[in-house]
Amino acid sequence: MDEPRPADSDTRDWTFVIDEGCAQCGYVPHEPTATVARLRDLPGRWAAVLQRPGAAARPSEGVWSPVEYACHSRDLLRVLGERVALMLDQDEPTFSDYDGEAEAVRGRFWAADPAAVAEEIRRGVEEASSVYERVGPSDWERRGLRGDGRVFTIVGLSRFLVHDLEHHLHDVGA
C-alpha cells in the first residue's frame, strides 16, 4: 500500500472533555470508578468496525481510516495506562511528550492489519484495566505532569482515555 499523505492535524487541546464533556460525540464526564467497565465495553465495538469491508480505506483525503483510528486508540491505551501506573508508583511524575500524528506516520498505521489491531486493542484494554483496578479510593486525585507542565490527575486521565476511545468510534460511525 502506498504511503498516504499525513492526516490533517487536529490542533485542538482536547483536555476540555475531562470537565466539560464533548458535544460532538455526546461524552459526559463519567464517574472514574466506571472506567474499567467502560474500557471493557470497547474491544467488541472496535472488532466490529475493523471487520467492515474497507476498514483500511480513508473516507476522504486527510482523514484517518477506521484502522488508523483504531491504531491510535490502541496506542493511547498503552500510553495512558503507563502514565496511570507511574502516577500510582511515583509522586507527580513527568510524562514524555506523545504526538499521535507523528506516531501514526512512524508506525505506518495505514498499513496495519485490521484483525491484528482488534486483538491489540483487546489486550490493551486488559492491560489498562489491570492498572485502573489498582487505583484505590484515595488514589484518584494523584497527579502527574505533562511535558508542557499541565497537571493531570488519575480522574482526568481516565476521562480523557474513555472519551478518546469512544469518540473515535463515533468518528468511524460506530
- Would you write out the chain's pLDDT as a tens digit for each of its 174 residues? 577 766 666 666 778 889 999 999 999 999 999 999 999 999 999 999 999 999 999 998 889 999 999 999 999 999 999 999 999 999 999 998 888 888 888 999 999 999 999 999 999 999 999 999 999 999 999 999 988 888 999 999 999 999 999 999 999 988
Single pTM value for the model: 0.92
Q: What is the DSSP string of 19-76?
A: HH-BTTTTB-PPPGGGHHHHHHTHHHHHHHHHTSTTTTS-SSTTS--HHHHHHHHHHH
The answer to whether position 2 is within a domain reads: no
- In angstroms, the CA 128 to CA 115 distance is 20
The answer to whether position 5 is within a domain reads: no
Provide CB contacts within 8 A for 100, sequence distance 6+: 72, 75, 76
Q: Into how many domains does the chain fold?
A: 1
- What cell does 121 get? 486493542
The answer to whether position 8 is within a domain reads: no
- What cell does 60 get? 476522504
The answer to whether position 32 is within a domain reads: yes
pLDDT at position 34: 97
Q: Closest Cα partner for 142 from 99, 104, 86?
A: 86
The answer to whether position 7 is within a domain reads: no
Range of the domain at 31: 22-171
Q: Is 142 exposed, middle or buried (0-12, 13-18, 19+ CB in 10 A)?
A: buried
The answer to whether position 11 is within a domain reads: no
pLDDT at position 11: 67
Crossing angle of helices 154-171 and 42-50, rounded to 10°:
30
CATH number of the domain residue 88 falls in: 1.20.120.450
The answer to whether position 4 is within a domain reads: no
The answer to whether position 14 is within a domain reads: no
* b/e 20-53 (16+ beta carbons within 10 angstroms → b): ebbeeeebebbebeebbebbeebbeebbebbeee
- What cell does 127 get? 492491560
